[in-house]
A and B are shown apart, each in its own frame.
Chain A
Amino acid sequence: MNLDSTIPLIAGTVLVSLLTTFIIFFVILYRKAQL
């Protein structure tokens, strides 16, 4: 695996984690708004 592939792989993993975190964050935010 060369550098051209490693950096985007890390970026892709970070993106997936960020999106998942964002959706969890949205669920928490929505529940708070419901109260």
Chain B
Amino acid sequence: MWFFTYVLILMAGSAYGLSCYRLLPRPYRLLTQMLMITLISELLSHFLKAQIGTNYPFYHVLQVIQILYYGGIFYFLIRNFEPKPRWVMYIAIAFSVVSIIVSMAQSIFTFPSIGNILLSFYVVIMALILFVKMVKTPEETRILSQPPFWLGSGSLFFYSITFFIFGYFDFLVNSGLSPPKWANLLVYFSNFILYGSYLMTLYLAAKKPNRPTS
């Protein structure tokens, strides 16, 4: 039931993004593409888990794709505040390369993986940098009506939680224990917050398509 609700929210975000794709500025087009890829990956991994008992390899591939997508998204968002912030993409590329190397060294049947922690770390830092830049040059629009606020908040919330939870899972796995039920529920809860805020981001971004990149 939790998984079904999660997929439903993810599907709503992807469908909404696709329905107004032409109206969306570049970072939100990338967000829509990433949501589509995540949705397909989640459905395939659910199917794979039912067939062979594990879906961990999917997450190793997905995390690399997501680091690169987030790199693109934050590149275009931060570009509103500074010209050509190439460092955003360079860090994303470096993190994705490290993630691939670590996945090969760690085995793709390991979860939680170091690549997952790298993804969380990258997104949290970029969301915080985006927030700092937003505060330094505020717009007249209400903060709650600005798409980058919802994108940053959802990302910051979800990836801080997963950074903590997956670190805890890793400790449990190494200790030979299984995760408590609340830990899985917290991951689902933060997923709902993440994809709910992305849906809000796309809704607001589609409402004001005139700005060049946000």
Which residues of A pack against B, CB within 8 Å?
A: 1, 4-5, 8-9, 11-12, 15-16, 19-20, 22-23, 26-27, 29-31, 33-34
Is residue B156 contacting chain A, with contact meaning CB distance below 8 A?
Answer: yes
Interface size counted on chain B using CB atoms at 8 A:
25
Q: A23-B153, A30-B135 are in contact. List 16 more A-B contacts (CB 8 A).
A: A1-B180, A4-B172, A5-B182, A9-B180, A9-B182, A12-B161, A12-B182, A15-B160, A15-B161, A27-B143, A27-B144, A29-B135, A30-B134, A31-B143, A33-B138, A34-B139
A/B pair count, beta carbons within 8 Å: 51
| Smallest CB gap from A5: residue in B | B180
Contact B186 A12 (CB under 8 A): yes
Task: Report A-chain residues with C-beta under 8 Å of the C-beta of B134.
Answer: 30
Contact B164 A19 (CB under 8 A): no
Q: List 7 A-B contacts (CB under 8 A).
A: A4-B177, A12-B182, A12-B186, A16-B161, A16-B186, A30-B138, A33-B138
Is residue B82 contacting chain A, with contact meaning CB distance below 8 A?
Answer: no
- Give the distance in Å from the alpha carbon of A32 to the alpha carbon of B115 in the complex: 38
User: Binding site of A, secondary structure by majority: helix, strand, loop or mixed?
Assistant: helix
- Give the distance in Å from the alpha carbon of A26 to the alpha carbon of B143 in the complex: 10
Contact A30 B153 (CB under 8 A): no
Is residue B183 contacting chain A, with contact meaning CB distance below 8 A?
Answer: yes
- Give the distance in Å from the alpha carbon of A19 to the alpha carbon of B143 in the complex: 17
| Smallest CB gap from A27: residue in B | B143
The 3 A-B pairs of least Cβ separation, nearest first, read A33-B138, A5-B180, A30-B143
